[in-house]
């Protein structure tokens, strides 16, 4: 009897240690709904956090990001990385910083060409907050020193890494098929996006903000300097970015569209992903409603609707837009060092498990 009790206690102890250990061994990622802006929260197994982009100005997106931080058990943002100076990527910072303390601010440096006065006013409001913390202006090849993860900057201020990441660098045969794109006025700042590769053991994710079709090219041609990925956050919300030469070289297993109901997840990006070798699923933050083409973004045909969306269980939000008091839904990713990961749709709790790649 006594031996049994000792054994029982030992089993409980091992079970508790395993559970506790497991919780500490995952990278948690929240793709936060900011209505067609961008905001992704990475929480390292050490508990340190990195927020990549911060959505639109005002209280709505700041509230949605603060709510996600609370769900994640994050009391401060250790590193805030702002990809570039368009309002849908950094506008919420002044409001957000009053809700969640931000320690280190990471960006590509000041805007060089500014087309919008709103964005310039936003930039000034941002720098006022940035000056209260520690500032890191990054260039390609720099690492963001979040504990427990390997986060490398691969693009910044229009420049890209010139030597391959570990394990990559093979010639990309798809470069021959690359067709340049005529890019719109927004492309100048979009192309300066700070982009990162996040590695946790064998798990690899890539987030390049609004990097453009033209700038992606330098990362994968003539050689693929990035390698292949488990998780790909689509560039530029899936509008006029993500060429087949780029996406098919990255061979993402899962792609997430940071789209809005009427923005991004374009027909072209959708079919490029659908035909990408090894792609298992497309997930989306919003259902894309039927809408006319935005010609300034290279769209030539009508967009959205049933045939240009993933199945509903892979879509976090079916409504067009949320009010500040409405609950928006995020996508949650839990990744492990062996390269396996799972995705959960907060709207339905639908969960899908992805085994480690071969």
**Encoded tokens for 354:** 């992805």
DSSP bridge pairs for 82: none
We find the least distance from the C-beta atom of residue 186 to Zn ion, in angstroms, to be 6
Q: Which C-beta is closer to Zn ion: that of 193 or that of 345?
A: 193
We find the least distance from the C-beta atom of residue 270 to Zn ion, in angstroms, to be 20
We find the least distance from the C-beta atom of residue 174 to Zn ion, in angstroms, to be 25
User: In the complex, which residue's CB is closest to Zn ion?
Assistant: 86
Determine the Cα–Cα distance for residues 272 and 276; give it in Å rounded to an integer.
Answer: 6
Q: Which C-beta is closer to Zn ion: that of 86 or that of 248?
A: 86
DSSP 164-178: PPTT---B-GGGGG-
Q: Which C-beta is closer to Zn ion: that of 86 or that of 263?
A: 86
Answer yes or no: are the C-beta atoms of 194 and 256 closer than 8 Å: no
We find the least distance from the C-beta atom of residue 311 to Zn ion, in angstroms, to be 29
Q: Which C-beta is closer to Zn ion: that of 111 or that of 227?
A: 111
We find the least distance from the C-beta atom of residue 221 to Zn ion, in angstroms, to be 23
Q: Which C-beta is closer to Zn ion: that of 210 or that of 230?
A: 210
We find the least distance from the C-beta atom of residue 211 to Zn ion, in angstroms, to be 9
**Where is 204: in which H helix or E strand?**
strand 203-207
Q: Which C-beta is closer to Zn ion: that of 84 or that of 253?
A: 84
Build a one-symbol-per-residue string for 73-112: x at contacts with Zn ion by CB under 5 A, - elsewhere. -------------x--------------------------
Residue reference for tokens 């079970």: 15
Determine the Cα–Cα distance for residues 93 and 167; give it in Å rounded to an integer.
Answer: 36
Listed residue (231, 200, 198, 236) closest to 216, CA to CA = 236
Q: Which C-beta is closer to Zn ion: that of 215 or that of 253?
A: 215
Residue 185's CB is within 10 A of a number of other CB atoms, namely: 11
DSSP 24-57: HTEEEEEE---TTS--EEEE-TTS-EEEE---SS
* Cα Dmax for the chain: 79
Listed residue (30, 24, 27) closest to 68, CA to CA = 30
We find the least distance from the C-beta atom of residue 102 to Zn ion, in angstroms, to be 21
Build a one-symbol-per-residue string for 178-217: x at contacts with Zn ion by CB under 5 A, - elsewhere. ------------x-------------------x-------
Q: Which residues bind Zn ion (CB under 5 A)?
A: 86, 190, 210
């Amino acid at each position: 009897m006594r031996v049994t009790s000792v054994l029982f206690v030992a089993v409980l102890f091992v079970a508790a240690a395993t559970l506790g250990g497991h919780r500490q061994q995952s990278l948690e990622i929240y793709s936060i709904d900011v209505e067609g802006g961008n905001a992704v929260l990475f929480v390292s197994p050490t508990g340190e956090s990195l927020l990549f982009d911060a959505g639109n100005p005002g209280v709505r997106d700041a509230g949605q990001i603060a709510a996600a931080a609370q769900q994640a058990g994050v009391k401060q943002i250790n590193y805030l990385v702002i990809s570039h100076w368009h309002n849908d990527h950094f506008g919420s910072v002044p409001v957000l910083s009053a809700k969640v303390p931000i320690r280190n601010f990471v960006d590509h440096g000041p805007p060089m060409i500014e087309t919008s006065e709103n964005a310039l006013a936003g930039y000034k409001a941002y720098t006022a907050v940035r000056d209260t913390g520690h500032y890191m202006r990054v260039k390609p090849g720099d690492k963001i020193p979040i504990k427990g993860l390997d986060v490398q900057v691969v693009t910044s201020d229009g420049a890209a890494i010139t030597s391959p990441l570990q394990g990559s660098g093979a010639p990309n045969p798809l470069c021959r098929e690359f067709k340049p794109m005529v890019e719109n006025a927004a492309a100048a700042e979009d192309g300066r996006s700070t982009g990162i590769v996040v590695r946790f053991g064998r798990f690899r994710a890539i987030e390049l903000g609004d990097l453009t079709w033209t700038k992606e090219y330098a990362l994968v041609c003539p050689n693929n300097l990035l390698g292949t990925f488990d998780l790909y956050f689509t560039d530029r919300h899936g509008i006029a970015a993500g060429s087949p030469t780029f996406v098919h070289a990255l061979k993402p297993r899962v792609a997430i569209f940071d789209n809005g109901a009427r923005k991004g997840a374009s027909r072209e990006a959708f079919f490029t992903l659908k035909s990408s070798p090894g792609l298992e699923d497309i997930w989306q933050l919003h259902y894309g409603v039927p809408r006319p083409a935005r010609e300034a973004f290279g769209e030539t045909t009508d967009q959205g609707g049933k045939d240009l969306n993933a199945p509903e269980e892979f879509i976090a939000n079916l409504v067009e837009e949320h009010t500040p008091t409405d609950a928006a839904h995020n996508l949650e990713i839990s990744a492990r060092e062996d390269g396996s990961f799972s995705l959960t749709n907060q709207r339905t709790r639908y969960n899908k498990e992805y085994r480690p790649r071969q």
